[in-house]
Structure 1
Amino acid sequence: MKTDIQGLSDIIIFVNTFYSKVQNDDLIGPIFNSVISDWQPHLDKMYLFWNAALFGVPGFKGNPFAKHAPLPIEGKHFERWLLLFNDTIDSHFEGEMATETKKRAGLMAAMFLTKLENMKGGPDKVIV
């Protein structure tokens, strides 16, 4: 029986599982693998991000959009990201917080895509 996302230990499970899928995905894997050589610091940051986003626990510092803006990503990449993310959540969890987590991921993806479509970032441009 699946349980709901209840705290950091559950966040670690879904972050690790999700990013393992990302690394091995034929569409988005090469993009992220080209800029992340050591995944553990990224995973550590994502634990903090999701703990802050879902449970209000302080500790995350960063600007996720600025990190993603220079990447060659577009709508199809966000669709795949969400597919992998939602599949990960659905495979391990069910309940109100699981639903909320997928909702927040969808909102972030939509916001990132909208911002990217309205500005022309590139590897030689820093967007803060």
Structure 2
Amino acid sequence: MTNTETQVPLARFGISAVEIARVVAVFYARVRSHEVLGPVFAAHVADWPEHEDKIARFWRNAILREKSYSGNPMREHVSRPDVKAEHFPLWLGLFHDVLRTELPERTALQWGALADRIGEGFRTGIVAMRQPKDQPPKLF
């Protein structure tokens, strides 16, 4: 039987929902103790298990195509003035560290590449959406 016959979406790379949940949990444990990111997240996350579940659904949607996440993460980030473009390199660095410690090298690289694209999109979006309308665009 093929994936088409069973209606099972193809994964972009080999990872399980359990592995995604573990990476998300380890990542947010490190975020909470991070000197820069910790206070920013603490100001907006009241229920860590709920947040981690939501973000795990985001990643399962992005990687496994589960369609288990609905939301607008760009709007969530842009609407919080204390979330700044310069936080994304810190976020990505920490995320890559967790990927390298929790996953096989190839899987960590694949998920890391996806995270880089998404993170850069958020960073760029924040810069563009918060920029005064009468100024030339900032491209980096």
TM-score, normalised with respect to structure 2: 0.78
Name the CA distance, whole Å, in 2 between partners of 1:75 and 1:48. Answer: 24
- The number of residue pairs the alignment matches comes to 118
What residue number does 2:103 align with? 93
SS across alignment from 2:86: helix
The alpha-carbon deviation at position 5 of structure 1 amounts to: 5.5
Deviations 1:23-48 (A, max 9, x none): 11110110110111111111111111
What residue number does 1:16 align with? 25
Deviations 1:57-76 (A, max 9, x none): 12111111111112223333
Task: Determine what percentage of the aligned residue pairs are the same residue.
Answer: 27
8 Å CA contact 2:32, 2:42 repeated in 1: yes
What residue number does 1:119 align with? 129
Residue range with higher mean Cα deviation, 37-46 or 66-75? 66-75
1:53 is matched with which residue: 46, 62, 70? 62
Name the CA distance, whole Å, in 1 between partners of 2:70 and 2:60. Answer: 12
| Closer, same or farther: CA 86–5 of 1 in aligned 2, 3 Å | farther
CA-based RMSD = 1.7
Name the CA distance, whole Å, in 2 between partners of 1:82 and 1:70. Answer: 20
The one-letter code of the counterpart of 1:63 is N
The one-letter code of the counterpart of 1:61 is S
Name the CA distance, whole Å, in 1 between partners of 2:111 and 2:34. Answer: 21
Structure 1 unaligned blocks of 5 or more: 122-128
What residue number does 1:124 align with? none
* Runs of at least 4 residues off by over 6 Å: none
Tell which structure's C-alpha radius of gyration is larger.
2
Name the CA distance, whole Å, in 1 between partners of 2:22 and 2:50. Answer: 16
Structure 2 unaligned blocks of 5 or more: 1-12, 132-140
TM-score, normalised with respect to structure 1: 0.85
What are the within-5 Å matches in structure 2 for residues 29-68 of structure 1?
29-68=38-77
